[in-house]
Every structure is written in structure tokens, then in C-alpha cells.
Amino acid sequence: MKKNDSNIKKAIKYLNNNECIAIPTETVYGLAGNAYSDKAVSRVYKLKKRPRSNPLIAHYYSINNLKKDCEIDNTFIKLYKKFCPGPISFVLKLKKKSRISKIITNNSNSVAVRFPSHPLARKLLKKINYPLAAPSANISTSISPVSKKDVVDEFGPKLKFVLDGGSSKIGLESTIINLIGKPNILRFGGINSKLIYKLINSLENKKKKKIKIKVPGTSKLHYSPGIPVRLNAKKNYQNEAYILIKKRKKLDKNYFYISRTGNLKQAAKNLYKTLRIVKKNGYKKIAIEKIPNINIGEAINDRILRASKK
């Protein structure tokens, strides 16, 4: 505990100096900088090699901190009460007086926000008086990191500090919902879309228009291990790493289990870690068996589909 406290102090020192650092969250590790500071968020983009056209998510401690920057409505409050803190991000309208750096919103009048539940992230957010812009702590388009080691592998000494919070419990990014106009899900993630729609359908005015928003992180190759990925594979070919979610009788050195029992939560948690291991082991191709498209399987399928794009 003492060690965590001194590490949080260290983290705050860096953040107050407009440096970027990596922080643990329950979804994946984030590359964090003061969301009110152009200097800090520019550093996040630069280190991540992320195009400026792809906006960042601002992380808050609670709704009270958020109210200064964003417009909120009943739908937001209902979702917030049910799912936050947790793996869901909301696209909201910015208030005129918002202090959020224009760089993280790509000069638009909307911003994506989230309230992470990881205890260390919460401790940190509680102690600072600004939100943290924190995209996943990986070089743009590659696999998100789920441990301190993954982050160090991505950035090496270029990154000054990683707040170590163990391995990320969920292991996949947040669900993003756009609440401007008719609510619509922009990215599948830690919370199943059906649960979200079930909660808000009763509230929503059916006449609201769906406003189209472009989400760069969902439109092209993303979450990529950098080698070809073959989906719904019933068997593996020679030299292919074969990612499985259910134990097979046959032993094969090329089998990599993300679960042995078909447990989707466990599979989500192990997916990115396993993709990294496969790559490190020198495989040139990956096959993945069919993943049921239920619960968090929806987000797993979304990520592996993008990983398989050329």
C-alpha cells in the first residue's frame, strides 16, 4: 500500500509538469496527460504516433468533475448510475466554458469521457484537479497493453513512468456510446451493447435523430499484431499459431489457449497478452477459432476482425 501511495505521488509530479505517463485501468493501460493542457496532450499524440485527427478519451473521477466541461442529460445519468465507474465511454457535447484541450477533441464540439474503476486510477484521479486524456498506451494501430511489461515493451525508455497496477481485469477497451442525438454505440467493449440499449430504450424519445460520428479507431486496421490473422478457423495449418477458447484433446505446440473452458471473460482478459506472446515467439501467421458472439464475445469479435484486416 505504502508503495502505491509513493508511486501515485510520483505520477502526480510528472502529470503536474505536463509529462505523460502510463496508468493502469480495468480495460487496458492508458497513456495519460493533463486533458486541460495542450502541451501534455501533444506529448501523448507524439509518443503514441497517433494522428491528430483521432480524438482521445478524457478520464474523470466522477460526474461532479465532469459537469464543468460537458452537457449531460437523463440518459447519461441513468447509464452513469448503472455502469460507472467502469468500462464505458460517452461522447458528450462540450460546454462553451469547457477547459478541455481542443487538441484532444480534434477541434470538435464533442468529447469522449470515461470513469475508470481501477482503484489506482481512481486514487490518482481523485487527487488531481484536471481530467486525464488517456488513449491506450501503445503505438498507434498496434495491440493495447494490459500490464506494465506490455507498456515498457511498447515505449522503452521514451516513457518516463508507468504506474503499476497489475494486469488489467477486463483486457479489452471500453464500450463507446454516442449520446449526442439518438444514442448509438460506436465501439463494442467492456459492457455488452444489449445491456446498454435495454436500459435506455424506455427513456429515449424515438424521434431523436441519429447523428453520425466518425470514430477513427473503428474504421481501419487497428488492434493489430502486425501479422496475418485468420478467423473462424476449424484447424490450424503448419506454422500457424492457433488461438483457442476450449480445451482440445490433441496436444500441439502451436495451440495457445485464451480460455480452456470457453469462458469469454477470461478469453477477453487473455487475448492481447496472447497475441503479444505469439508475435514474440516468432510466428508469422495466426488462426483463431470461432468465438461466440455473446456478452463480451461481441467485443472480442470486433477486435479480432479489425486485427485481421489488411
The footprint of ligand AMP on this chain (CB under 6 A) covers a number of residues equal to: 20
> Which residues are 224's β-sheet partners?
142
The footprint of Mg ion on this chain (CB under 5 A) covers a number of residues equal to: 1
Task: Indicate the residue whose CB is closest to ligand AMP.
Answer: 217
Give yes or no for a contact between 31 and 174, defined as CB atoms under 8 angstroms apart. Answer: no
When the beta carbons of 56 and 267 are compared against ligand AMP, the nearer one is 56
Among the listed residues 215, 227, 231, 233, the single contact to ligand AMP using CB under 6 A: 215
When the beta carbons of 236 and 308 are compared against ligand AMP, the nearer one is 308
Q: Which of 158, 111, 108 is nearest to 134 (CA)?
A: 111
Q: In which residue are the cell numbers 518516463 written?
A: 160
When the beta carbons of 143 and 245 are compared against Mg ion, the nearer one is 143
Question: What residues between 98 and 157 interact with Mg ion by CB under 5 A?
Answer: 136
Residue 293: CB minimum distance to ligand AMP, A:
21
Helix (H, G, I), strand (E, B) or coil at 59: strand
When the beta carbons of 139 and 199 are compared against Mg ion, the nearer one is 139
Rounded Cα distance, 61 and 63, in Å: 7
Helix (H, G, I), strand (E, B) or coil at 201: helix
Among the listed residues 12, 72, 199, 213, the single contact to ligand AMP using CB under 6 A: 213
The grid coordinates of residue 61 equal: 473521477
Rounded Cα distance, 66 and 30, in Å: 19
Q: What is the DSSP track for 102-159?
A: TTTTTT-SEEEEE----HHHHHHHHHSSS-EE--BSSSTTBPPP-SHHHHHHHHGGGS
Binding mask 165-194 for ligand AMP (x = CB under 6 A): --------x--x---------xx-------
When the beta carbons of 218 and 281 are compared against ligand AMP, the nearer one is 218
When the beta carbons of 110 and 168 are compared against ligand AMP, the nearer one is 110
The yes or no reply on residue 168 touching Mg ion (CB under 5 A) is no
The rounded radius of gyration (Å) of the Cα atoms in the chain is: 19
The yes or no reply on residue 91 touching ligand AMP (CB under 6 A) is yes
Question: What residues between 222 and 261 interact with ligand AMP by CB under 6 A?
Answer: none
Question: What residues between 11 and 50 interact with ligand AMP by CB under 6 A?
Answer: none
Rounded Cα distance, 267 and 251, in Å: 20
User: Which residues contribute to the site for ligand AMP (CB under 6 A)?
Assistant: 54-57, 91, 105, 110-112, 135-136, 173, 176, 186-187, 213, 215-218
